[in-house]
């Protein structure tokens, strides 16, 4: 088994390789050469049995590391079954999260979803007839797949902060320290707070900075193995009732299918106004006095699980997204709520981490009970037992992301 945490194989539908017998799609030959140079296995998938190696050779293309047709898959399932990619993983001795699927149809899309494998739609060979409800990463030409791999899926996951707590079925992953500045254009930079606290739309070349950062967060979790198949995504609610971070929600609405997960925007809900912790943190950093209650008690008295999910979380993995975390009051309250509702595992993913390695684990004091579907007005900070936690720390993928953004800036300039 390959022990690296990067993509090691790209499975490609036959129709995305050849436009007709003996003719390759434009750019495919260069892309396959790029895969070989990066030691990434090329896998070709066909429904019917055929001599794929001969067909590729006739088109001047290299032989695949593996060719699978329906007859090669245990049970001979139709395309759309995750068994196709399970067979790829078994044959190549790689994990499912080390595979990317490049497809041309809705059935290919479903194949990726049902295996928990990232799917990319090959628009250069798009055979989709009915794309209703189909949301996926896409590429206009083969080189775009290489760009996606190079900037998001070939770098080992690196986190500013990470902590695994098996005893509480809880994991935390934070991508970056909070004070990083990234290039926006020649002579111009931006910081994470511009995007996720101030809600600004920042364009980096032709790309949205929000999308670059969020895709890096999700791809790192995918490679890290902390983006389980069929999990539930939700966003920790903003300080005002009925609101979540639109920067997070806007991306997750589309990204939910990256590994066959489900986004539930209303899973956690704020029922009353709470202090804006980002604003209060900023005030205190400036030495301004504040009497606002930003304890976990304030979270408990204003955030609950939406009652419509009563009985629907048992055995589920729930991934809670938030923009920033400091000591972890919000994500710890989310964990308490979700595990009280019988969720099997809770994973917190945040863009930024204040306070370096500092995190506090919160547990309800013995004898204290809650109904996770009701606001816990009876709780205060003293209702919890706290334990300091030291997680693994690092710079995160700061340098790699700066290189990625510089790449997109240069690409936009060259296109002018």
Burial 318-339 (b: 16+ CB within 10 A, else e): bbbbbbbbbbbbbbbbbbbbbb
Q: Where do we find the tokens 């994991």?
A: 171
Nearest to 13 by CA among 132, 143, 110, 129: 110
Q: Are the C-beta atoms of residues 327 and 389 closer than 8 Å to each other?
A: no
Cα distance between residue 259 and residue 261, in whole Å: 6
- Specify the residue for token string 């088109």: 59
Structure-token match 């990232």, residue found: 118
CA angle in degrees (0–180, nearest 5) for 4-5-8: 75
CA angle 346-395-162, nearest 5°?
Answer: 20
Reference 256, options 112, 97, 136, 145; nearest CA is 136
Q: Mark the ranges of the chain whose per-residue pLDDT is less than 70.
A: 1-2, 127-134, 256-257, 274-294
Predicted pLDDT at 289: 55
Q: Provide the 3-class DSSP secondary structure of residue 183.
A: strand
Report the candidate in 320, 333, 325 with the shortest Cα–Cα distance to residue 248: 320
- Angle made by CA atoms 306, 309, 315, in degrees to the nearest 5: 130
146: three-class secondary structure by DSSP: helix
Residue 276: the pLDDT is: 66
Q: What is the DSSP string of 257-304?
A: GGGT-EE-TTSEEE-S----HHHHHHHHHTT-------SHHHHHTTEE
Query: What pLDDT does residue 241 have?
Result: 79
Name, in order, each residue with C-beta under 8 angstroms of 390's C-beta and a sequence gap of 6 or more. Answer: 357, 358, 359
| Whole-number pLDDT of residue 239 | 77
| CB-CB contact of 149 with 143 (8 Å) | no
* Structural domains of the chain in order of their starting residue, each with its CATH number: 9-153 (3.40.50.1000), 161-393 (3.40.50)
Report the alpha-carbon distance of residue 331 to residue 345 in Å, rounded.
Answer: 13
CA atoms within 13 A on the CB side of 280: 12
């Amino acid at each position: 088994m390959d022990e690296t945490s990067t993509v090691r194989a790209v499975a490609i539908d036959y129709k995305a390789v050849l436009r007709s017998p003996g003719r390759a799609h434009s750019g495919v030959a260069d892309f396959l050469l790029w895969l070989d140079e990066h030691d990434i296995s090329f896998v070709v998938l066909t429904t019917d049995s055929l001599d794929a190696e001969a067909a590729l050779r006739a088109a001047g293309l290299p032989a695949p590391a593996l060719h699978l047709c329906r007859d090669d898959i245990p049970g001979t399932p139709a395309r759309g079954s995750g068994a196709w990619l399970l067979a790829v993983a078994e044959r190549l001795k790689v994990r499912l999260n080390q595979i990317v699927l490049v497809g041309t149809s809705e059935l290919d899309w479903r194949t990726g979803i049902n295996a928990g494998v990232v799917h990319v739609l090959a628009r250069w060979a798009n055979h989709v007839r009915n794309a209703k409800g189909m949301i996926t990463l896409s590429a206009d030409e083969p080189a775009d797949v290489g760009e996606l791999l190079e900037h998001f899926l070939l770098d080992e996951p690196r986190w500013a902060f990470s902590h695994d707590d098996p005893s509480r079925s809880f994991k935390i992953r934070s991508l970056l320290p909070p004070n990083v500045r990234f290039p926006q254009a020649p002579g111009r930079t931006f910081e994470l707070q511009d995007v996720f606290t101030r809600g600004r739309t920042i364009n980096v070349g032709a790309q949205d900075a929000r999308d670059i950062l969020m895709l890096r967060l999700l791809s790192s979790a995918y490679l890290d193995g902390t983006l389980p198949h069929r999990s539930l995504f939700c966003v920790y609610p903003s300080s005002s009732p009925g609101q979540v971070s639109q920067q997070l929600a806007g991306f997750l609405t589309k990204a939910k299918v990256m590994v066959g997960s489900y986004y539930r925007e209303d899973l956690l809900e704020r029922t009353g106004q709470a202090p804006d912790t980002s604003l209060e943190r900023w005030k205190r950093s400036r030495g301004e006095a504040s009497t606002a209650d930003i304890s976990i008690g304030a979270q408990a008295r204003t955030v609950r699980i939406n009652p419509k999910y009563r009985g629907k979380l048992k055995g589920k993995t729930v991934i809670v997204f938030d923009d920033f975390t400091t000591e972890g009051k919000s994500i710890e309250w989310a964990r308490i709520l979700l595990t009280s509702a019988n969720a099997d595992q809770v994973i917190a993913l945040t863009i930024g981490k204040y306070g370096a390695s500092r995190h506090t684990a919160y547990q309800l004091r013995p004898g204290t009970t809650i109904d996770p579907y009701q606001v816990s007005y009876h709780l205060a900070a003293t209702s919890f037992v706290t334990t300091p936690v030291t997680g693994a720390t690092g710079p995160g993928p700061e340098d790699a992301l700066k290189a990625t953004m510089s790449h997109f800036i240069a690409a936009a300039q060259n296109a002018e």
